[in-house]
Every structure is written in structure tokens, then in C-alpha cells.
Copies of this chain bind each other. A is one copy, B any other.
Amino acid sequence: MIKQERMKVVRHKQIADDIFELTLIGQLSLEMKQPGQFVHIRVSDSFEPLLRRPISICSIDPEHMEFTMLYRAGGRGTKLLSLKQPGDEVDILGPLGNGFPVEEANTGETALLVGGGIGVPPLYELSKQLNAKGVRTIHVLGFQSINNVFYEKQFSELGETYIVTADGSYGTKGFVTDLLAQLNPEFDVFYSCGPLPMLKALEQTYPDKKGFLSFEERMGCGLGACYACVCKTTDAVENDYLKVCSDGPVFPRGVVAL
């Protein structure tokens, strides 16, 4: 169920250039089930900034009533968020949207998880759940540069993990698709979150594979009421538009016009 709660900061630290890892505690964590869902965060009690920020759930720890997100402190709102100290409260609305379908990978199968930059975080909970179910995971994670890389160790513990950087300062140089071309991995289903060009390239590289992609769009309500976050669909779909916040953010391949 969607809840609103003032959750408490448990841990908060910077883990790469501008990238923060924030762990919150509260009842709301118990509502989180599906990887790829997101929360909508109010970073300030004032109207400056006014709107909530959508951030993906990166990992869920129901035992401790905690969940963790990773975010890039880029603009005004996320910079304010980065100032929160352990013990401070953060107004969270969530869990929102439809995440990655874990059920689409069967025990014994292999899943390819491809993340780009700040699209990497939701893949972590996904990978945990897939592995728990006995699905083998291959992780291909792309970043700008060595200073932007995060969570390599965490993913490595779950499966084969490849890092790509655009400037070649760490791992393989280039885009995730360059590495995939070399690697030519065997897999049954792919899941991805990252910049549009990456999602597009993936769809093209694997025209016959089952795949699920997570999208971003600027949001108002985050609930499906305001029509701010729509995305254009392909001809294959009956609806002309879908809402990223409530129909997505994860859609099967071929649904969203890329």
C-alpha cells in the first residue's frame, strides 16, 4: 500500500562523486516488495523547492524496517537532501509504480542486468531477489568515469559484474553495448535502467530477447493523477500514452516509443 511517512535517517554517506547512499527506517519499508519501484521525497518543509523528487528503491531490509536509496546530488533538491543527518526525518511517499517483474525469470535461468549511471541502483534489489530465487545474474554497469563508479563490490557478490566507463578510466572503455558486443553473454531475460540511448541500443542489440526497461520522466504527483509524466507508446500498444509513475516506471520492451 502507498503510504506517507516521516522516516528517520539511519545512515547517510557519500559513496562516489556526488553520489549518496541514504538508509531510512520506518513502517513504510514494510510495504516495499518489488524492485524497481520508487519513492517520492519531499526534501524540505518549505516550498523551496516545492515538488517531490522521485528516487528508486535500491535495497529493502524489512527485517530492520529499513530501505536504502542511492542518488546523485545534482540539483537544488537533491543537494538539500544530501545535508540530512542521521536522526533527521525525511518525508517519503511510496512505494510507487510498478517495478521489475522478478517472476519473468525462472529458477535456473540467467538474467542480464544492464545499468547506466544513476540507473544502476534499482538493479541491486532486483539482483538480490533474482539470486534469492536461484536466477543467475550478469551485471553490466556503465559510468562516466572512475570517480562515478559505485556498488561494484555489492553487485560482484551476487554475480559476474562488468564495469564500463565512458572515458576508460576504469573497467572497459566505452558504452555498455560495446562491452556486451565483446562479451556476447548467454541469458534468458534482460532488465535495464539508464539513459534513453542505452535503453534504445539494448532493444536493438537483442531484438528477440524478453526484456524490461525502466524509464524516467519529470513528475508532478507521482501517483498517476496529473498526467505530467506520460511517455509515448509504440503502435503495438492500445493506449497512446502511459504514465511513467503509475503504469511504469518499468515497461516490457517494445511498449515505449524510443
Contacts and interface: CB of A to CB of B under 8 A. Distances in A.
A44 interface: yes
Contacts of A47: 48
A173 to B, nearest CB: 40
A184 interface: no
The size bracket of the interface on A is: under 10
A86 B142 CA distance: 43
Interface string A45-59: 011100000000000
A32 B46 CA distance: 33
A47 B48 CA distance: 7
A35 B46 CA distance: 35
Interface in A25-82: 44, 46-48
Contacts of A48: 46-48
Contacts of A44: 46
A77 to B, nearest CB: 11
Nearest to A49: B46
A46 B47 CA distance: 9
A18 B48 CA distance: 26
Most buried by B among A44, A46, A47: A46
A46 B49 CA distance: 9
A48 B46 CA distance: 7
Interface in A170-214: none
A152 B26 CA distance: 46
A238 B47 CA distance: 45
A49 to B, nearest CB: 8
A44 B47 CA distance: 12
A81 B120 CA distance: 39
A224 to B, nearest CB: 28
A235 to B, nearest CB: 46
List 5 tightest A-B contacts by C-beta distance, closest first. A46-B48, A48-B48, A47-B48, A46-B46, A44-B46
5 contacts: A44-B46, A46-B46, A46-B48, A47-B48, A48-B48
